[in-house]
Amino acid sequence: MKKYLFLVVLLFAAVCSAAEKPKYLFLFIGDGMSVPQRMIGEEFARTRGETLVMNHMPFSAATRTSSASSLVTDSAAAATAIACGVKTHNGKLGVDTGGKKIESMAEVAKKNGYKVGIITSVNLNHATPGGFFAHRKSRGEGYNIGLDMVNSNFDFFAGGDLFGRNDKKNPNYKGDIMELARKNGYKVVCGADGLKSLTAADKKAVMHSKSGRITAALDGGDPGADLHDMVAKGIELLEGPNGFFMMVEGGAIDWAGHANDAAENLHELLAFDKAIRVAVKFAEKHPAETLIVVTGDHETGGMTMGFAGSGYNLWVDRLANQKVTIGKFAHILKEANKDRKLSFEEVKPLLTEYFGFRFEGKSPMTLKAKEIQYLEKEYAKGKLPAAVRRTISGKAGVGWTSGAHTALPVLTTASGCGAENFSGFIDNTDIAKKFKALMTPVETKGFWEKIISF
């Protein structure tokens, strides 16, 4: 009798466990996003009476990010760890240190009947998305990663155009990747109009932007084809009786970190949070069936909230004065100097228009004499954009220690069904292990027969 009761309890636990497995799973990865990026975004949002939804989820975990070859990971090794649950060397994608293929959580999801969507704000064959469908010894194998993408049989891809997608010098060349996608049953579309045209009748689809990334949020974005638009369309296409798994990357947060462009970094993070809000809104309709996890793959730039020269202050609201990315400003400046070299006096109005700098009067954005001298000197050397970038970061109290990645841990937050698994202190490989467990059915076949036998 005791054995019977024990087995009944086990069966009940198994059934409950199966019932609690999420039907809809979202994994959001902010590339280059650690605690400083999230908190600067939070402080900026608070100046507008808002908060970041990613920072107010009920469960959180500090997350270690090292690779097998270094305490400082690159995006390929980090993507492999997060997607597959195994540490590998920097540069490797979807394979272990010996080059053996590893199954990703997206592949596990597909095998178990979920529909799968991969979304990014940068190249679709970039390191982070590639970690979920590619198995290559080098993240630089753009064309080969593209082949893995179209052969994955995943249901929806959306993001920037593939780099090297028509590399005719590649030994494995079989044609343009997008043409191969069409031959493999994908409907391939481009831009906002293309994204809008997709319907649930399109069983498999690829949407790509005209360039390798979505236009920077600070430069106006790609209305109708921004990250949140792609997430909304992904939900529309993937929702169904078997559920779905969706990985969404805010890839340009990392690019802004490499550039040490504080305002661009901030706006990419805000755009990323806007995409998360789409998932949260969906989860409100399916609260018992949806899991949302937000993490970063590593930190980029060594961003700090304050530095010695800021006098224990942080003025993130001043970043609102910057109207374009540093990259776009460099283009604007080049165009302005196309016919003749402007004097620094003639450049000053541009600095006021695009960065809010003031050259007289009393304002938080009024430049000190030494700051003006610095900008003028750097302009003469052809290095004004970089000087502007440093100056506005200083005005905001944002510091940078690097133009590359750092070993800072990232923050993982979660809400919904199964979210309690993401708390405490975890390794990035734990994310894959937990997702795989949540997407794998509980094996109960023959269980009832065993009970009857007792």
CA distance 78 to 133: 14
CA distance 244 to 203: 13
Q: What is the CA radius of gyration of the chain?
A: 24
Residue 30 vs residues 1, 298, 444: alpha-carbon distances, Å: 53, 9, 37
Where are the strands (E) in 338-401, listed by range?
398-399
| pLDDT band, residue 12 (cuts 50/70/90) | very low
Angle at 43 between CA 37 and CA 45, to 5 degrees: 100
| pLDDT band, residue 9 (cuts 50/70/90) | very low
Q: Which residues of 54-93 are buried (b: 16+ CB within 10 A; e: fewer)?
A: bbebebbbebbbbbbbeebbbbbbbbbbbbbbbbbbbbbb
The pLDDT of residue 170 is above 70: yes
- Taken in order 430, 56, 312, 299, is the CA torsion positive or negative? positive
The answer to whether 144 touches 102, Cβ cutoff 8 Å, is no
Residue 57 vs residues 63, 266, 418: alpha-carbon distances, Å: 16, 20, 13
The answer to whether 123 touches 162, Cβ cutoff 8 Å, is yes
16-21 average pLDDT score: 57
Q: Which amino acid is at 16?
A: C
The answer to whether 246 touches 129, Cβ cutoff 8 Å, is no
| pLDDT band, residue 441 (cuts 50/70/90) | confident
According to DSSP, the residues that pair with 206 across neighbouring strands are: 157, 188
173-177 average pLDDT score: 97
Residue 94 pLDDT: 98
pTM of the model: 0.93
Residue 338 vs residues 335, 347, 387: alpha-carbon distances, Å: 5, 13, 20
CA distance 141 to 173: 12
According to DSSP, the residues that pair with 291 across neighbouring strands are: 25, 416
Helix (H) or strand (E) holding 427, with range, is strand 424-427
- Taken in order 83, 194, 180, 154, is the CA torsion positive or negative? positive
| pLDDT band, residue 11 (cuts 50/70/90) | very low
Percent above pLDDT 70 for the chain: 93
The pLDDT of residue 256 is above 70: yes
Tokens for 65, please give them. Answer: 């990010």
Lowest mean pLDDT among 26-30, 35-39, 359-363: 359-363
Residue 248 DSSP code: E
Lowest mean pLDDT among 15-29, 101-115, 275-289: 15-29
In the CATH scheme, what is the code of domain 24-303+410-439? 3.40.720.10
350-375 average pLDDT score: 97
CA distance 426 to 409: 10
| pLDDT band, residue 443 (cuts 50/70/90) | low
Residue 188 vs residues 24, 165, 200, 225: alpha-carbon distances, Å: 25, 14, 14, 14
Q: What does the pLDDT look like over 384-413, one tens digit per residue?
A: 999 999 999 999 999 999 999 999 999 999
54-60 average pLDDT score: 98
Percent above pLDDT 90 for the chain: 91
Residue 274 vs residues 28, 140, 250, 322: alpha-carbon distances, Å: 11, 30, 11, 20
CA distance 290 to 190: 29
CA distance 423 to 332: 46
Residue 20 pLDDT: 77
Residue 451 pLDDT: 43
| pLDDT band, residue 309 (cuts 50/70/90) | confident
| pLDDT band, residue 450 (cuts 50/70/90) | very low
Residue 18 pLDDT: 46
The answer to whether 440 touches 112, Cβ cutoff 8 Å, is yes
CA distance 152 to 332: 41
Domain spans of the chain, in order of start: 24-303+410-439, 305-399
Q: What does the pLDDT look like over 139-159, one tens digit per residue?
A: 999 999 999 999 999 999 999
Q: Which amino acid is at 190?
A: C
117-127 average pLDDT score: 98
C-alpha count within 13 angstroms, C-beta hemisphere, residue 137: 4
The pLDDT of residue 446 is above 90: no
Around Cβ 219, how many Cβ atoms within 10 Å?
A: 15
Lowest mean pLDDT among 31-35, 379-383, 420-424, 442-446: 442-446
166-178 average pLDDT score: 97
